[in-house]
Amino acid sequence: MNKYETVFIINPSVEDAGVKNLIQKFSDLINSDGKVEKVDELGKKKLAYEIKKNTEGNYVAINFEANPSLIAELERVYRITDEVMKFITIRKDEE
C-alpha cells in the first residue's frame, strides 16, 4: 500500500453537518480498501480565483494509505459529488 494525501474543496454554501457527512463518506470509501491516518478540516478559506462563482470554500485534507486502484474510484466519486468544487490526490514519498 502507498501513502497518499488528498485535498478537496467543498462549496461554502454546505452546512457544517453536510461537510461532516461528506468527510465521513470519503473516509468510509478510503477505509474500504485502505486506512485513513489523519483528517484535517482546514475550514473556510479564500480561493485564489473564483470557482463556480464562489470566492471561498471549505478545505479538507486527508492523509491515508491505500492500494493504487482506490485512487481512480475516489476521484470518480469526487467528480460526481456536486458539493466538491476541486480536488487533488498526490502520492507521498516514503520518509
- Give me the average pLDDT of each 10-residue run along the chain (95 residues): 93 91 92 92 93 93 92 93 93 78
What pLDDT, on the 0 to 100 scale, is given for residue 10? 93
Residue 48: inside a domain = yes
Residue type, 46: K
Task: Give the count of domains, the chain.
Answer: 1
Residue 5: inside a domain = no
Residue 37: inside a domain = yes
Burial of 69 (0-12, 13-18, 19+ CB in 10 A): exposed
Range(s) of the domain holding residue 52: 12-92
Sign of CA dihedral 80, 82, 83, 86: positive
Residue 7: inside a domain = no
